[in-house]
Amino acid sequence: MMKEIEKLRSGEYYRMDDAEIAEIQTRAIVLCQQFNSLPVTAGEERDKLLRRLFSSAGQNLSVKPGFLCDLGVNIQVGDGFLTNYNVTILDMAPVRIGNNVWLGPNVGLYAVAHPMEAAGRERRLGIAKPITIGDNVWIGGNSVVLMGVTIGRNAVIGAGSVVTRDIPDNAVAAGNPAKVIRYVDNDNV
């Protein structure tokens, strides 16, 4: 019989109240609390905490206070990763973030969801799918990216958007649900 963490990792429904998963979440909560309690002038200490929290991290990270995540161990960020205030990454599945990705204030990356059926929610079930964000992406404030989404490189997501489907390279997308509204010519900057 599969353990709940194995179900989670294989993209199947899992019990959210599993003790093994809760232990990893508690570690992430503690590290996030420590990170957010440090003054922004404690750059080296803040950087060390992020590197303990994330599974991998590039150089020149800039993460503002109010950062929260579920596990941390499923987050991979590239060089130049930048967040504004109050960013939340629910990383029950892998969240892979490329180089020079900027997240505006109150952005949420949600790699987890719950059943539509009430009986599944009563049983405390969750399901997780990866999120992938390419290089040089800017996600505007108060936007949400849902599980299973890939955002292509050089894309821009307008503020307040809800991204439910993949966004191609060089696209500008906005709305709820987010739709491509135009493309950017990145060769003429």
**SS3 annotation, the chain:** CCCHHHHHHCCCCEECCCHHHHHHHHHHHHHHHHHHHCCCCCHHHHHHHHHHHCCEECCCCEECCCCEECCCCCEEECCCCEECCCCEEECCCCEEECCCCEECCCCEEECEECCCCHHHHHCCEEEECCEEECCCCEECCCCEEECCCEECCCCEECCCCEECCCECCCEEEEECCEEEEEECCCCCC
Model pLDDT, residue 18: 95
Q: Is the pLDDT of residue 189 over 80?
A: no
pLDDT category at 1 given cuts 50, 70, 90 is: confident
φ, ψ dihedrals at 153, nearest 5°: -65, 150
Q: Are 102 and 139 in contact (CB under 8 A)?
A: yes
Q: How far does Cα 112 stand from its chain's mean position?
A: 10
Which active-site residues does the annotation give? 114
Q: What is the pLDDT of residues 8-35, one digit of tens each?
A: 999 999 999 999 999 999 999 999 999 9
The pLDDT value recorded for residue 6 is: 94
Q: Which two tokens stand for residue 120?
A: 């599944």
Mean pLDDT, rounded, of the chain:
96
Q: What is the pLDDT of residue 186?
A: 80
Q: Over the stretch 76-115, which tens digit does the pLDDT of each residue have?
A: 999 999 999 999 999 999 999 999 999 999 999 999 999 9
pLDDT for position 60:
96
Q: What is the pLDDT of residues 34-78, one digit of tens each?
A: 999 999 999 999 999 999 999 999 999 999 999 999 999 999 999
* pLDDT over 80 (residue 149): yes
**What domains does the chain contain, in order, with CATH numbers?**
4-183 (2.160.10.10)
pLDDT at 187 over 90: no
pLDDT at 157 over 90: yes
For residue 118, name the pLDDT band (cuts at 50, 70, 90): very high
